[in-house]
Amino acid sequence: MDSDLNDRYSRQILFSGIGEAGQRRLLASRVAIVGCGALGTVLANLLVRAGVGSIRIIDRDFVEFSNLQRQTLFDESDARDSLPKAIAAERRLRAINNSVAVEGIVADLGPRDAEELLSGFDLILDGTDNFETRHLLNDTAVKLSMPWIYAAAVGSYGVTMTIRPGITACLGCLLKQENRTEASGPQAEDTCDTVGVLASSAGVIASIQATEAMKLLMEEKDRTQSIETRLVSFDVWRGEHHSVRVARDPECRVCVHRKFRYLEGKAQPHVTMCGRDSVQIHERNRNLDLALLSHRLATVASDVRHNDFLLRFSVTTHEITVFTDGRAIIKGTRDAAIARSLYARYLGS
């Protein structure tokens, strides 16, 4: 390790749990973070500063002013420019630590590209906002035998659990066990759009998640002994903390029977979006010319503006954001039929 890197990570190397050998393993590690909101921004910031060698950030969304309360990598200029979160995060993280290879990918992770986007990494980290994507992460991680760390935060409450396929319980095991017991914490239908979210709850959970990630990345690659899985939860408002053992389910659909219905595209895709009265339309591989589209829409829409990554415009009470691959977010409705109608009317099919 050269002197500059040794100086940058000196306080971390002094910590007995890491040392110089652990720091070397971190520098050689590759991590994929899916979702760059409240959890993902804290995760990415902590791991880039810790010296994880290569980080890929995958996110489908763009920065808005409502994000700034809790999404710690973004500022007002990112919101004014409607930058995709993955791009804004990449720029900020490279300025924080240019020795880390940071790659921001503007994409909505789906069954068709999950294996391609997540293969070759040492660890997957959950920064998502919906269980459809988490089930997809679980399917992909189990199929690829890749560890991942589940996390969620809403209101003042957050949870996280480390998953090692073939060794510990997976997300399928956890959710089946929760269905057999009384629910604790927030209800399944709670979202940041309905009950809000504290930056501190996301920060606490992401900090635990990042610490667990570092512990995993510093381990020897051939470690296979049995490890107990625990679901860790915090409620920062109530000052409550719980840690619950999660056993493997001997009949689990995913990690035992290896039925990957989300990865195979057999599950219903997620169309509404957390935190906004919005519907996402999945149109891919259209390769839109945003400048040309902006010129065409100028006569039929208002507030038309674009950058290298997306185009935004307003029609009646709806705001439409379209990305270069044809994916769009229609704000102002939760009705998928209305969203598809608006998409076809203004963007074609």
CATH number at residue 336: 3.30.310.10
Domain presence at residue 267:
no
| 206 and 328 fall within a common domain | no
No. of helices (H) and no. of strands (E), the chain: 13, 13
Domain presence at residue 98:
yes
Domain presence at residue 103:
yes
| 213 and 99 fall within a common domain | yes
Angle at 153 between CA 193 and CA 250, to 5 degrees: 120
| 98 and 217 fall within a common domain | yes
Domain presence at residue 269:
no
| 75 and 223 fall within a common domain | yes
| 101 and 239 fall within a common domain | yes
- pLDDT tens digits, one per residue of 284-326: 667 888 899 998 899 899 999 998 889 999 998 999 999 888 8
Domain presence at residue 53:
yes
pLDDT of residue 325: 84
Tokens linked to 158: 């957050």
If pLDDT is split at 50, 70 and 90, which confidence band does 226 have? Answer: very low
Q: Tokens 């200029």 sit at which residue?
A: 77
Which domain does 67 fall in, by range?
A: 3-246
**CA-CA distance, 334 to 272, in Å (whole number)?**
6
pLDDT of residue 254 exceeding 90, the answer is yes
Pairing of strands 278-281, 328-331: antiparallel
Position 101, amino acid: A
pLDDT of residue 207: 97
Domain presence at residue 137:
yes
Helix (H) or strand (E) holding 343: helix 336-347
A 10 A CB-CB count for 211 gives 14
If pLDDT is split at 50, 70 and 90, which confidence band does 190 have? Answer: low
| 156 and 214 fall within a common domain | yes
| 44 and 122 fall within a common domain | yes
Q: In what order do the strands lie in the sheet with 148-154?
A: 101-106, 54-59, 30-34, 123-126, 148-154, 157-163, 229-235, 240-246
pLDDT of residue 224 exceeding 90, the answer is no
User: Domains in the chain: how many in total?
Assistant: 2
If pLDDT is split at 50, 70 and 90, which confidence band does 221 have? Answer: low
Tokens linked to 314: 């307003």
| 150 and 7 fall within a common domain | yes
If pLDDT is split at 50, 70 and 90, which confidence band does 182 have? Answer: very low
- Catalytic residue numbers read 192
- pLDDT tens digits, one per residue of 262-279: 999 877 555 555 556 888
Contact 110, 270 (CB under 8 A): no
- pLDDT tens digits, one per residue of 114-135: 999 999 999 999 999 888 899 9
Percentage of the chain exceeding pLDDT 90: 68
| 213 and 326 fall within a common domain | no
